[in-house]
Amino acid sequence: MTMAVVIVFLASAFGAWVWHEQVTRSLVEQKAGWEEQAERLRASREDLQERHTALKERLAVLERGAQVKEQAYARVDEHLKNLQSRVAELGEELAFYKGIVTKDAPKSLRLGSVRISQESDSQYLLNVVLTRGMRSDKVIEGKVSIEILGNLAGVPRRLSMSELTPSGRDGVSFRVRHFQRVSQRLVLPQGFTAQDLTVQIKTVGAKPTVLENTYAWSGVMD
């Protein structure tokens, strides 16, 4: 009886040992598998981080390149506008010299040209050229004023020069012998749509005169 108990005990102990070894081996194998999987995940994460960093650097390079191109285009556009403005000025000067050196050039004051260039959304620069023939050396003095006809919020409006200049001045004085360019910055109200520009020249002296011309706004815009 005692021998049988011993045998049963030994068999149970052996079985428990075998089960323990199997469980231990299984846990070791699972741990190895988990460590291998964790290593793969770490490697994958590092790879993703490297790709993310590379993409960020590439994006930064592209953004810098786009910014450089945009700045270059802006410089070229600004240079082209300056050239166009200079060509227009040279054309005015050429027309002036042709006009004043001819024998039949009038001695009276003339309105040579009127141009407007836009500087911002509501700010503009007015340039008026006054000319006279070379047969007279007399200086003529006076004042240039303007009015702009248009509409604001669908309502017709006529704006005087005092409403258009930051200082509220009602005209620009001039003293011209043969040629003078008169300039004035204008500020149009927000939402105002210009249609026509009227330029008036008033001379002072013994025989004051008034010259007045009206132009389509689109025709005098640079």
Query: 197 by DSSP, 3-state: which?
Result: strand
Instruction: Tell me how many degrees the CA angle 34-40-44 measures, rounded to the nearest 5.
Output: 140
What radius of gyration, in Å, describes the C-alpha atoms of the chain? 44
Edge-to-edge order in the sheet of strand 179-187:
110-118, 123-131, 179-187
Could you say which DSSP state residue 165 is in? S
What pLDDT is attached to residue 31? 67
User: Which CATH architecture is the domain 106-220 placed in?
Assistant: Sandwich (2.60)
- Rounded CA gap, 165 and 127, in Å? 14
Q: What per-residue confidence (pLDDT) applies to 176?
A: 85
What pTM value is reported for the model?
0.54
Domain boundaries, the chain: 1-101, 106-220
pLDDT in tens, the chain (222 residues): 566 666 656 666 666 666 667 767 766 677 677 677 767 777 778 888 888 888 888 888 888 888 878 887 888 888 787 778 777 777 766 766 666 655 555 567 888 889 999 888 889 999 998 887 666 678 889 999 999 999 998 899 999 999 998 888 889 998 988 788 899 999 999 989 999 999 999 988 888 889 899 999 999 988
pLDDT at 102: 58
| 23-39 pLDDT per residue, tens | 677 666 776 776 777 67
* DSSP assignment of 74-110: HHHHHHHHHHHHHHHHHHHHHHHHHHHHSTT--SS-E
Mapped onto helix, strand or coil, the DSSP state of residue 122 is coil
